[in-house]
């Protein structure tokens, strides 16, 4: 971001950039932003990852496998998906293809496991950002 806009990025500015790219369905560009965040020492949040997954759910450029990869990546960095994240990832699977249905089933199983754990352990933090339970 520094090279392009001659400014230091922060979590807010990078999430804004992610949102603009996601609305265009630019999933690879979102990946580049998140890689840049990590290189600059900015830790992506659940909002960052959910927005990147949103690029995979954009009509005309749905990519369920990449959405599932983003779920795995965020968990590997100890950022837990919330219900917005799961709903967005599941939306990426709605392209009518059998493979996408299988991927959606895997995501749904992971979501149910997260819900069960949350019900068992309780919720810590804001339900808006942390809960896997839908309203």
Mean pLDDT throughout 16-36?
94
**pLDDT band with cut points at 50, 70 and 90 for residue 118:** confident
Alpha carbons 78 and 48: distance in angstroms, whole number: 13
Give Cβ neighbours of residue 41 (< 8 Å, ≥ 6 apart). Answer: none
In this predicted structure, what is the pLDDT of residue 132?
Answer: 60
Q: Does 38 score more than 80 pLDDT?
A: yes
Question: pTM here?
Answer: 0.86
For 35, 100, 129, the CA distances from 83, given in Å and listed in that order, are: 24, 19, 8
**pLDDT band with cut points at 50, 70 and 90 for residue 126:** low
In this predicted structure, what is the pLDDT of residue 4?
Answer: 56
In this predicted structure, what is the pLDDT of residue 3?
Answer: 60
């Amino acid at each position: 971001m520094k090279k392009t806009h001659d400014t230091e990025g922060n979590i807010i500015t990078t999430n804004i950039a992610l949102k603009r790219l996601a609305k265009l369905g630019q999933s690879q560009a979102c990946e580049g932003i998140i890689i840049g965040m990590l290189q600059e020492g900015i830790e992506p949040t659940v909002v960052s990852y959910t927005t990147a997954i949103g690029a995979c759910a954009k009509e005309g450029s749905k990519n369920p496998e990449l959405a599932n990869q983003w779920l795995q990546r965020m968990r590997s960095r100890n950022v837990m998906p919330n219900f917005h994240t799961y709903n967005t990832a599941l939306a990426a699977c709605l392209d009518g293809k059998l493979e996408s249905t299988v991927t959606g089933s895997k995501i749904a199983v992971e979501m149910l496991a997260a819900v069960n754990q949350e019900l068992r352990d309780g919720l810590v933090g804001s339900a808006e950002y942390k809960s896997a339970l839908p309203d």
